[in-house]
Amino acid sequence: MSWHVTAIGRGEPLRNNLNEQISRITCIEPEHAIKGDVATLIARALSCYPANMVVKVTASGSQTNHQMSDGEFVNSLSVQIEPQWGFVE
């Protein structure tokens, strides 16, 4: 299974949008737990930004058990949180 979320925005609306996107994704364990941990870490990181700063968040993950023993998995994960300097409205 693989998953991907992305959003650009400010403060609470951005955090809420990302939480909605992440909560709609269904995965099997341990990927489900990893995805939940990522959501928590993103929310924590975003809480440090000024409320009026535009931020772009992209996160994705993938899990496979291809060529693994039963019950073994390989997970990949990417998270980017970037302030959007010079944003014009």
Residue 88 belongs to a domain: no
**Contact by Cβ (8 Å): 63, 73:** yes
Residue 54 belongs to a domain: yes
pLDDT for res 56: 98
Domain span at residue 8 reads 2-83
Residue 43 belongs to a domain: yes
pLDDT for res 72: 87
Residue 89 belongs to a domain: no
pLDDT for res 60: 97
pLDDT for res 67: 75
pLDDT per residue as tens, the chain (89 positions): 899 999 999 999 999 999 999 999 999 999 999 999 999 999 999 999 999 999 999 999 999 987 777 878 899 999 999 999 998 88
Residue 12 CA to residue 16 CA, distance in Å, equals 6
Residue 76 belongs to a domain: yes
Q: What total number of domains does the chain contain? A: 1
